Structures are given as structure tokens and as C-alpha cells.
Amino acid sequence: MRPIVVRVIRPLRWPTYDGWLWIDAYELGARGDAVARRTLFVMTAGLVWQDPPTQPGRKTTRGPVARKPMRVG
């Protein structure tokens, strides 16, 4: 069995054992693109986070805004 890299969509609130969790996730390919959607039953102690999870909210794809220099006078 080999580990897989996934992007978690959401945890599912299904009854389970202590220390285990159901999640909906996208399996990521070598280039980081989603190749399959999966529902996984995972042991929370076995998860390795690439980046810490963020709070839910609106994400933006825009970069920083380029500002023009101001002329005073």
C-alpha cells in the first residue's frame, strides 16, 4: 500500500470510532491536479498535513494589486 496526497474537501459527520474520521477529498496527481474524488476512512493520527488547515472562508485567486506611484504637488 502506498500513501496518497489528497486535498480535503470536508470532514463528514458520520458515526465512527474514536480517533477515526470520514473525509471527502480529491486525490492529487504528480502535478498537483485532482485526478479522482474519494471518500476516505482515515485514522487521524496517521494524517500528515502538507500545509496547516485554514479556516473556512472565501479564497481569492487574485494576486497583489499593482499600485501606481502617487505624484504630490
**pTM surpassing 0.85?**
no
Torsion on CA atoms 54, 17, 41, 26, rounded to nearest 10: -20
pLDDT digits (tens, 9 = 90+) for 38-49: 999 999 998 888
Nearest residue to 36 (alpha-carbon basis) of 67, 63, 4: 4
Residue type at 18 in one-letter notation:
D
d(CA 65, CA 63): 6
How many contiguous H segments (helices) and E segments (strands) does the chain have? 0, 3
pLDDT digits (tens, 9 = 90+) for 29-69: 988 899 999 999 999 998 888 776 565 655 555 555 555 55
Residue 8 dihedral angles phi and psi, to the nearest 5°:
-75, 130
